[in-house]
Amino acid sequence: MSQLKVVVAGAAGRMGAANIRAITEHPDTVLHAALDRDGSEAIGQDAGTLAGLPACGISITSDAEKALAEADAVIDFTTPGASVMLSKLTSGRKLVHVIGTTGCSIDDDAEIAAAAEAGARIVKSGNFSLGVNMLAALVRQAAAALEDYDIEVLEMHHSRKVDAPSGTALLLGKAAAAGRDVDLEERSVRVRDGHVGPREAGSIGFATLRGGTVVGEHSVILAGPHERIELTHRAEDRGIFANGAVKAALWAAGKDNGLYSMADVLGL
Ligand SMILES: NC(=O)C1=CN([C@@H]2O[C@H](COP(=O)(O)OP(=O)(O)OC[C@H]3O[C@@H](n4cnc5c(N)ncnc54)[C@H](OP(=O)(O)O)[C@@H]3O)[C@@H](O)[C@H]2O)C=CC1
Ligand SMILES: O=C(O)C1=N[C@H](C(=O)O)C[C@H](O)C1
């Protein structure tokens, strides 16, 4: 089998570097191009060097059309606007598009779904690690079994993170809502401030912490009478997300166009 030719979007970012390393280390993938924002200081720099590897001869570009030419797949951890723009390009070319970007609005998600419908093979997830996707399956089970327990999702990330709640917190909230057979949009309480009154039964609460260099920590707390269950995942290295993204790209290469999740990739 020939190697999957993968473009990294957001190449100069925290996840971009991890993705370049994961693609370089996997025997079935090869770095095809590295893309970042027009005007970024990283444009023109060697993608390997920027990722802490030996120089690889691929310069970071802001020309998306050029980067995608002859490519098989894009691994994209950027911003909502960039992911929507790229989904239109991957759709026209019928490419694999792995989207790790979080903080997408309902409208952004609708545009991404339309791109998948039109031709792209998109895998989108708020978290590409095996551990978090396993945790989501456990949360769904616990939420269904402990139907009267109060559910709260707590997350902490590094100080540079720009969206809240995290994509993972929302993924875990959705898993809890699915276990209860309710709609998360109708039940979630994202912020509490001031005299908010007692907790509404059946709601799913979110709490956000930011600071330091925390890669990502999530707890789902199920609180009942005189006892509490806490299901926790702690990410220690961004390589867990990057390895999952590479796995998703290889998996989607054999699929029809459509919108898939990491749970689909892992068969959970
Ligand atoms: N699903 C998952 O498993 C994970 C998801 N994430 C998510 O991935 C995203 C990126 O995270 P992280 O790497 O920490 O963030 P960074 O800010 O470090 O990286 C994002 C990169 O994308 C670049 N970028 C911005 N606009 C464009 C554009 N139009 N085209 C190409 N590149 C662009 C940024 O450039 P510049 O800085 O110059 O603007 C930056 O280099 C976030 O949404 C985060 O929540 C993170 C980890 C795991
Ligand atoms: O921005 C991050 O760093 C992370 N973002 C993802 C999220 O929003 O859940 C995944 C991971 O926790 C790291």
Ligand 2 residue neighbourhood (C-beta within 6 Å): 102, 126-127, 157, 161, 166-168, 216, 235
Pocket test for ligand 1, best of 19, 21, 37, 61 (most atoms within 8 A of CB): 37
Using the mean position of ligand 1's atoms as its centre, give its distance from the Cα of residue 149 in Å: 36
Using the mean position of ligand 2's atoms as its centre, give its distance from the Cα of residue 128 in Å: 10
- The predicted pLDDT at position 235 comes to 98
In the DSSP assignment, the letter for residue 13 is S
Read off the amino acid at residue 253: A
CA atoms within 13 Å, Cβ hemisphere of 81: 2
Ligand 1 residue neighbourhood (C-beta within 6 Å): 9-10, 12-16, 35-37, 40, 77-79, 82, 100-103, 125-128, 163, 167, 241
Active site residues: 157, 161
In the DSSP assignment, the letter for residue 2 is P
Per-residue pLDDT 10s for the chain (268 aa) are 699 999 999 999 999 999 999 999 999 999 999 999 999 999 999 999 999 999 999 999 999 999 999 999 999 999 999 999 999 999 999 999 999 999 999 999 999 999 999 999 999 999 999 999 999 999 999 999 999 999 999 999 999 999 999 999 999 999 999 999 999 999 999 999 999 999 999 999 999 999 999 999 999 999 999 999 999 999 999 999 999 999 999 999 999 999 999 999 999 9
Which residues make up each annotated binding site? 10-15, 36-37, 100-102, 125-128, 158, 167-168
ipTM over 0.90: yes
The C-alpha atoms of residue 132 and residue 238 are separated, in whole angstroms, by 13
User: Over the range 201-217, which residues count as b (16 or more CB within 10 Å of their CB) and which as e?
Assistant: eeebbbbbeeeeebbbb
Per-residue tokens: 123:
């895998």
Pocket test for ligand 2, best of 161, 210, 219, 243 (most atoms within 8 A of CB): 161
Residue whose Cα lies nearest atom 13 of ligand 2: it is 216
121 closest CA partner among 251, 267, 263, 268: 251
Which residues make up each annotated binding site for (S)-2,3,4,5-tetrahydrodipicolinate? 158, 167-168
DSSP codes joined into one string, 161-187: ---SS-HHHHHHHHHHHHHHT--HHHH
In sequence order, which residues have a C-beta less than 8 Å from that of residue 200 and are 6 or more positions away?
189
Pocket test for ligand 1, best of 102, 108, 170 (most atoms within 8 A of CB): 102
Per-residue tokens: 82:
């960039």
- The predicted pLDDT at position 233 comes to 98
Per-residue tokens: 5:
């030719």
Residue whose Cα lies nearest atom 4 of ligand 2: it is 216
Instruction: Give tens-digit pLDDT for 72-122.
Output: 999 999 999 999 999 999 999 999 999 999 999 999 999 999 999 999 999
